[in-house]
Every structure is written in structure tokens, then in C-alpha cells.
Amino acid sequence: MIHAGILFDNRYLIESAGHGIAAADIYLQDKGYSYTVFRPTNSALASGAATCAKVFFDIHQRTGGMPYNVPGAVSSIFKSGGAPDTRDQMDVAFDDLIRGKNHPFFCSQFVVFVFQFVAEQNNIPGAKIFPVGDGCVPPSMLGTTLKTHPMFQESGYMLANQR
């Protein structure tokens, strides 16, 4: 099984899972899982994504507005392309989330949206991070993309039950 999330600090993985945006302790709840770890080469993108993921987690805890998107996850396997949202569209989506409007995510969609959103906030086109819409990136495609992406580096592995 392939899954995607964003490490908030050295312990908590922020992810879109069964009940929506959640934080899982990689030493307790997710100890039995293995991970390939990718890090952005741009420090503003790295810290911004961690902070943004935590903000989304906090919003979801308050509003419940980011449930897991099962239909989106399934359909992402069959989608090809689709332009990423513009900065203005992402700002509207973020404002809607703060107001409690629902925006379902599946795991890799959440990761892609966060990185595109943070890139736009740092004057980097979201399309430079991922050139397709967030709902068009299944988890397996995300992993494959990050392996060769010039703005990310594979920094190692975390093996199941080895931490």
C-alpha cells in the first residue's frame, strides 16, 4: 500500500486518512509502517509545508471540513493532467476552509495541494512543484514524481518497527 503525508516535526505525520486530516505519531500509531522520505530543497517550502499542514489539521479538528475523499482517490488513478489551481483559486479554497466549508482530500491530493499552495505563497508557481491539479496525483504517481523532481531530494527511509 502506498500512502502520502507531510512530517510536521520529527514525530507527527499530518495526513489525509480515514476520518480526514489527522496527525499520527510515527513512533506509536504509525510505527508499523515504512516510509520513503523526500524533502524539499527549498527551506521556505519545507517549513511552510509543515506549518500549512498543521494549520489544515487544526482547521479540520475545529470544523471537520476536510473529510477523506474516497471517490477522489479512486478516480485519481484514471485521471491524466488537469491544470493546477491558480494562486487566487487556492486562496479562495483556503478562505472557504477557514469558514468551515467542506473540501475533501485523499492522501496525495492533500500533499500536492499543500506544496502548491505554499509554493504560490513564496512566489513559486504551483505548477513548478507539480504541473497537474492536486486531484490528479494518485499516491504511486507522487512517489515516482518526487524521485526525479529537482526541488525534492530523497533523504532516506524509515523502516517499520525500526524506530
- Total domains in the chain come to 1
Per-block average pLDDT, block size 10, for the chain (163 residues)?
88 93 91 90 97 96 92 84 89 90 94 97 94 90 93 92 83
Residue 42 in any domain: the answer is yes
Strand segments, DSSP code E, in 28-151 are 35-40
Q: Give the C-alpha separation, 25 to 23, whole Å.
A: 7
Residue 10 in any domain: the answer is yes
Residue 118 in any domain: the answer is yes
This prediction has a pTM of 0.92
Expressed as residue numbers, the domain containing 59 is 5-158
Residue 35 in any domain: the answer is yes
Residue 51 in any domain: the answer is yes
Residue 163 in any domain: the answer is no
Instruction: Please state, in angstroms and as integers, the Cα–Cα distance from residue 114 to each residue in 31, 57, 97, 102, following that order.
Output: 24, 12, 13, 16
